[in-house]
Amino acid sequence: MKRPERIAVIGAGVLGSSVGWNLARRGADVVLVEAGQPGEGVTNWSFSWVNASNKTARRSYFDLNVAGMTAYQDLARTIGPDAWWHPTGHLRWADDPKAGAELLATAELLAERDYGVEVCTGAEVRRRLEPSVAVPDEVPVVFFPGEAWVHGRHLVRRLVDLSVAAGATHRFDTAVREIGTHADGSVATVVLSDGSRLDVDAVVNAAGPSASRVAGLVGRDLPMRREPGAVTRLDCPRVPVRRAMHAPHIEIRPDGGSSVVLHSREVDARIDTEEDPQELARLLHDLARQVVPDLGTARIMRTRVSNRPIPGDGFPSVGSVASVPGYYEAVAHSGITLGPVIGRLLAEEIVSGQRRDEMLADFRPERFTP
């Protein structure tokens, strides 16, 4: 593969902005094309927990997520921490014996893999870390000091600004409607929703939940799961939590300013039957106030149900597709954790014209090619 001259990155969420910035800083001619505004897609409606502790089942995926955590530390050193980066660790506990035993077994496995883990009691957590959390005194709580949360929209804005400073251009509020190809099947143009056409010789499909539709523009079938998730933002006069946490039925994190974010897999499971986002928000708020009573006075601000961008087998799809020279994918759930590492690895591959990193071997797009 030769080095492309001009690259359109389709979608400016955490993945597209990470790929775009890494391409631009390596001297590539990049145009970021975004149907809406940067960072306003799933990236803004995510729990945004940077971790590998929830991904122990498959070793290569765990390792990729650990690399994602390291990439964030590198990124914070390179671009400055700012309002997007919150390396405050993560708390997790359970309220039934089976889930509690599983959590402790996972903590043991993670410790064997040299992943930062501390097991404390509820009483210690209140004394040292989270005074407002109603976790029973004797319950074991696992603290992951190396984990973090990220403010996705602030991060994307930052990466877009840095991309522009490095020479990238952008077309926001403009969608890619068609991708034109040469006679040999290689990428030639993108046609935009305002009727204009850009000559390019590569595209990166970073369209998040719409990635399957964008893949269809080059005749590719990228199977994706349908797994919607609901996130609610509360407004609190005084934010009573200092870090992200997985309590038994609810996930809670600060969000900067007076905002707190709530999410729950149990509430997600009701989305098909409980279509009213206000009802989902009330459920989330009720669960949260049981864990952090001070959240009882908070006000529900906004709730959004988004589709997770999950390729069919649950793992990321990253890299080129041999049948369409110049077409690349950057599609992943856990995209918050993986954005910076995928951005760097994929950009290195695109500018070098070579597949380089073994870390992506299990996550190549071609596994979905019939």
Ligand X SMILES: Cc1cc2nc3c(=O)[nH]c(=O)nc-3n(C[C@H](O)[C@H](O)[C@H](O)COP(=O)(O)OP(=O)(O)OC[C@H]3O[C@@H](n4cnc5c(N)ncnc54)[C@H](O)[C@@H]3O)c2cc1C
Q: How far apart are CA 91 and CA 143, in angstroms?
A: 5
Q: Which is nearer to ligand X, 135 or 211 (CB)?
A: 211
Compute the least distance from the CB of residue 197 to ligand X, in Å: 14
Q: How far apart are CA 334 and CA 351, in angstroms?
A: 25
Q: For ligand X, which residue of 103, 160, 175, 284 counts as binding (CB under 6 A)?
A: 175
Q: For ligand X, which residue of 86, 249, 263, 344 counts as binding (CB under 6 A)?
A: 263
Q: For ligand X, which residue of 4, 11, 20, 340 counts as binding (CB under 6 A)?
A: 11
- Confirm or reject binding of residue 318 to ligand X (CB under 6 A): no
Q: CB count, 10 Å around CB of 360?
A: 20
Q: How far apart are CA 356 and CA 108, in angstroms?
A: 33
User: What are residue 339's phi and psi, to 5 degrees?
Assistant: -50, -55
Q: How far apart are CA 330 and CA 346, in angstroms?
A: 8
Q: Which is nearer to ligand X, 40 or 294 (CB)?
A: 40
Q: Which is nearer to ligand X, 103 or 148 (CB)?
A: 148
Which of these, 4, 63, 8, 2, lies nearest to 206 by C-alpha position? 8
Q: State the number of binding residues for ligand X (CB under 6 A).
A: 39
Q: Which is nearer to ligand X, 204 or 298 (CB)?
A: 204
Q: For ligand X, which residue of 332, 341, 346, 360 counts as binding (CB under 6 A)?
A: 332
Distances (CA, A) of 341 to 172, 233, 285, 346: 24, 28, 34, 8
Binding mask 63-102 for ligand X (x = CB under 6 A): ----------------------------------------
Angle ∠(67,143,47) on CA atoms, nearest 5 = 65
Looking at the DSSP assignment, which residues form a beta bridge with residue 260? Answer: 234, 254
Q: Which is nearer to ligand X, 42 or 141 (CB)?
A: 42
Q: Which is nearer to ligand X, 225 or 299 (CB)?
A: 225
- For ligand X, the nearest residue by Cβ is 13
Compute the least distance from the CB of residue 237 to ligand X, in Å: 26
Q: How far apart are CA 35 and CA 12, in angstroms?
A: 9
Q: How far apart are CA 20 and CA 29, in angstroms?
A: 10
Contact partners, residue 359, CB within 8 Å, separation at least 6: 60, 63, 64, 67, 345
Q: For ligand X, which residue of 14, 110, 203, 342 counts as binding (CB under 6 A)?
A: 14
Which of these, 348, 338, 10, 341, lies nearest to 174 by C-alpha position? 10
Q: Distance of alpha carbon 260 from its chain centroid, rounded?
A: 18
Q: For ligand X, which residue of 89, 254, 309, 343 counts as binding (CB under 6 A)?
A: 309
Which of these, 314, 318, 367, lies nearest to 22 by C-alpha position? 318
Q: How far apart are CA 294 and CA 23, in angstroms?
A: 45
Q: Which is nearer to ligand X, 122 or 342 (CB)?
A: 342
Q: Which of residues 220-249 bind ligand X (CB under 6 A)?
A: 229, 231
Q: For ligand X, which residue of 162, 176, 283, 291 counts as binding (CB under 6 A)?
A: 176
Compute the least distance from the CB of residue 40 to ligand X, in Å: 6
- Confirm or reject binding of residue 146 to ligand X (CB under 6 A): no
Q: Which is nearer to ligand X, 122 or 284 (CB)?
A: 284
* Side-chain-side CA neighbours of residue 327 (13 Å): 29
- Confirm or reject binding of residue 212 to ligand X (CB under 6 A): no
- Confirm or reject binding of residue 340 to ligand X (CB under 6 A): no
Q: Which of residues 180-209 bind ligand X (CB under 6 A)?
A: 206-209
Q: For ligand X, which residue of 337, 343, 346, 363 counts as binding (CB under 6 A)?
A: 337
Q: Which of residues 23-62 bind ligand X (CB under 6 A)?
A: 33-36, 40-43, 46-49
The residues that touch ligand X, with contacts defined as CB under 6 A, are: 10-16, 33-36, 40-43, 46-49, 175-176, 206-210, 214, 229, 231, 263, 306, 308-309, 332-337
